[in-house]
Amino acid sequence: MMRLPTIFAILACCSLIACSEAEGGADGAESFRDRIGAGAEPAQAAGPAAEETALEDQLFSLLNGFDGFVGAAVHDIERGRTVDFNGGELFPQQSVSKLWVALAALRMVDRGELDLAEPALIGYRDLTLFHQPVRQFVVARGLYRTNYADLMARAITQSDNTANDVLLKRVGGPSAVRAAIDQAGLGTIRFGPGEREMQSAIAGLEWRQSFAVGRTFYQARAQVPDLQRRIAFDAYVTDPVDGASPRAIAVALGRIARGEVLQSATANHLLALLAQTKSGPRRLKGGVPQGWSIGHKTGTGQELRHEQAGYNDVGILTAPDGRRYAVAVMIGRTAVPVPQRMEMMHGVVRAVVAYHYAALGQPVPAGMLPEPLPATPAGPS
């Protein structure tokens, strides 16, 4: 924030300048500047620290040349600083939005309205689409009996769509999650209509429960005319119903970590789940150096003609000394090969590590930063 001089200082400066110009024109003004330089220095505007500027430059260098719509934000949780690139733009969240379902549930726990040990039941009518490991239990047994703690863990650590959808119903549906986001003051974070409706709309379809079985959804999507799919796909990327800004997500993660949004026990529960995430091991996590750790949540959208709508990773990096940095890297649209996306994310991690040590006035320890990945064929991410 800029530090403004007092009205008295402004009036005094104006008076001196007027006198100087009256006595000696341009020479008088120059003489006045010389006297200022030789005497007490005028008040300076408080600007970003050198390491913040360096981090901003590194983010620009990494992301500005990336072929796609991309944004990132880094929030220094202990110092309260935030640096970003396209940080205020709306990006599709995809499964990153599972964070807000968990948040809504944990706020209910804090209010005594939900016990995570409460039994939950999943049947065929509860199945969704895409990634849903819990489906195997439903197929094998007809019904899967569990509790909401298990469903939350599956939603966060495995990005299980059905587990998340059943938890979403328990907290009161999309409107309840939106209310939780608003009540927590998390800013520019939207929550969509739910996985089934949203993914169907992105494909130019309307949801039918038969899509949850086998390859039915993929077969139906393949029958959608190209123009219809393109219109639906572009509409989603341009104005995503689950859109969020990288800056809002990074700051929200920081507030959760500081205990400002949830009580201590529930905040720690969510952070512990993020640390156990299995999806996206080669995204941000793949660039984390030895001695550091990360808890994170990925999000991956549909593809159309090799172009992907949403390829994200957000989380909290923890340095060896315990300092924490919330990081959000979001790709709204790209056709860049997956290894290049991951290498860009690794570059963001390297930039955060460099910022951490610069803020401490120390060099990065020798050998800590990993070398950039060589170009390799796309694989599991």
End-to-end Cα spacing for the chain: 40
3 state SS of 133: coil
151-155, long-range: CB < 8 A, 24+ apart: 151/120, 152/102, 152/105, 152/116, 152/273, 153/273, 153/276, 155/98, 155/101, 155/102
For residue 21, name the pLDDT band (cuts at 50, 70, 90).
very low
Distance in angstroms (rounded) separating the CA atoms of residues 284 and 314: 8
Whether residue 246 contacts residue 91, with contact meaning beta carbons closer than 8 Å, is answered with: yes
Please count the other Cβ atoms lying within 10 Å of the Cβ belonging to residue 43: 12
Write down the pLDDT at residue 189.
98
For residue 367, name the pLDDT band (cuts at 50, 70, 90).
confident
**Which is nearest to 156 in space by CA: 292, 306, 274, 333?**
274
3 state SS of 332: strand
Question: Looking at residues 216-233, what average pLDDT do you find?
Answer: 97
> Residue 162 contacts by C-beta under 8 Å, 6 or more apart in sequence?
122, 126, 127, 128, 132, 134, 135, 138
Write down the pLDDT at residue 370.
62
Q: Supply the mean pLDDT for the chain.
A: 88
Q: What tokens does 226 get?
A: 């190209």
Q: pLDDT digits over 298-325, tens only? A: 999 999 999 999 999 999 999 999 999 9
Q: Which secondary structure element, helix H or strand E, spans residue 70, and what is its range?
A: strand 68-76
Distance in angstroms (rounded) separating the CA atoms of residues 379 and 337: 10
Helices (H), 119-225: 135-141, 148-157, 161-171, 174-183, 195-202, 216-222
Distance in angstroms (rounded) separating the CA atoms of residues 47 and 67: 31
Q: pLDDT digits over 153-180, tens only? A: 999 999 999 999 999 999 999 999 999 9
**% of the chain residues with pLDDT over 70:** 85
